[in-house]
Amino acid sequence: RKEVEQDPGPFNVPEGATVAFNCTYSNSASQSFFWYRQDCRKEPKLLMSVYSSGNEDGRFTAQLNRASQYISLLIRDSKLSDSATYLCVVIFTASKLTFGTGTRLQVTL
Amino acid sequence: NAGVTQTPKFRILKIGQSMTLQCTQDMNHNYMYWYRQDPGMGLKLIYYSVGAGITDKGEVPNGYNVSRSTTEDFPLRLELAAPSQTSVYFCASTQGGAKDEKLFFGSGTQLSVL
């Protein structure tokens, strides 16, 4: 089993739709979790941290489920500009960061 | 602040050639990382450093070397380039370790080995 798994997509959704991505991880001792956004041929950029209590930033909501070992990202009211690849990152130690392969989102008119 | 600066942006190498990918950051970050990203794949850690003079191997270190003589600079050296090293390379940094802080990435180096 891979340490971090994501559905590669692509997820093709119309503007205004709600879309959710999941990311599962295998190491139950993992400590921190993040979602990064990566545009084509660009460097990843932090989208948001993920906490067990859940956190929201505008149209984006991230959630951690430690019991089932997955994190999720919900995007409401999708915009064309949300089209990108979304990478989950699971951190065990400061040097042990594992990136998922990414989920590609394409928002269409 | 310029953040994390990587050079060059693009490079084509012949098999067996060597080169150094440069990475410098002006944020006084302790932790620095080198990743490679193959098409359709996640980022894989090559080497990392927790401070000047300290480096350690990541997940895929074979064929690469690093040094960290200053806090600012973390160059990645390819001694004998191979086609398997064709990839996009990202340098990243963070102050106290990525456990609680975001990674700052450079803009990447697209390397092709032919």
Q: List pLDDT tens digits, range B3-22.
A: 999 999 999 999 999 999 99
Chain A residues within 8 A of B102 when measuring between CB atoms:
34, 46
Q: List pLDDT tens digits, range B29-44.
A: 999 999 999 987 889 9
Instruction: Please report the pLDDT score of residue B98 as a whole number.
Output: 59
> Residue B100 — very low, low, confident or very high, per pLDDT cuts 50/70/90?
low
Q: List pLDDT tens digits, range A58-109.
A: 999 999 999 999 999 999 999 999 999 999 998 887 667 788 999 999 999 9
Contact with chain A for residue B76, Cβ under 8 A: no
B3 close to B103: Cβ distance less than 8 angstroms? no
Cross-chain Cβ contact B99/A95 below 8 Å: no
Q: How many Å lie between the alpha carbon of A34 and the closest alpha carbon of chain B?
A: 9
Instruction: Please report the pLDDT score of residue B78 as a whole number.
Output: 96
Among residues B32, B90, B88, B74, which one has the least CA distance to residue A45? B90
Instruction: Please report the pLDDT score of residue A29 as a whole number.
Output: 84
- Token pair, residue B64, equals 């690469």
Nearest CA in chain A to B96: A94
Instruction: Please report the pLDDT score of residue B39 as a whole number.
Output: 83
Contact with chain A for residue B102, Cβ under 8 A: yes
Instruction: Please report the pLDDT score of residue A84 as a whole number.
Output: 96
Among residues A79, A74, A69, A70, which one has the least CA distance to residue A108? A79
Instruction: Please report the pLDDT score of residue B99 as a whole number.
Output: 62
Phi, psi of B89 (to 5 degrees): -110, 130
Q: How many Å lie between the alpha carbon of A39 and the closest alpha carbon of chain B?
A: 11
% pLDDT > 70, chain A: 97
Instruction: Please report the pLDDT score of residue A54 as a whole number.
Output: 86
Q: Which of A43, A90, A92 has the highest number of chain B CBs within 10 A, making it the mutation to test binding with B?
A: A43
How far apart are the C-alpha atoms of B39 and B45, rounded to whole Å?
A: 15
Q: What is the DSSP string of A23-90?
A: EEES-TT--EEEEEEE-TTS--EEEEE--TT-EEETTEEEEEETTTTEEEEEE-S--GGG-EEEEEEE
Q: Which of B46, B99, B111 has the highest number of chain A CBs within 10 A, making it the mutation to test binding with A?
A: B99
Q: Above 70 in pLDDT, residue B47?
A: yes
CB-nearest to B40 from A34, A95, A101 is A101
- Going from the C-alpha of A46 to that of each of A86, A94, B27, the distances in angstroms are 10, 16, 17
Instruction: Please report the pLDDT score of residue B65 as a whole number.
Output: 97
Q: List pLDDT tens digits, range B68-97.
A: 999 999 999 999 999 999 999 999 998 876
Contact with chain A for residue B103, Cβ under 8 A: yes
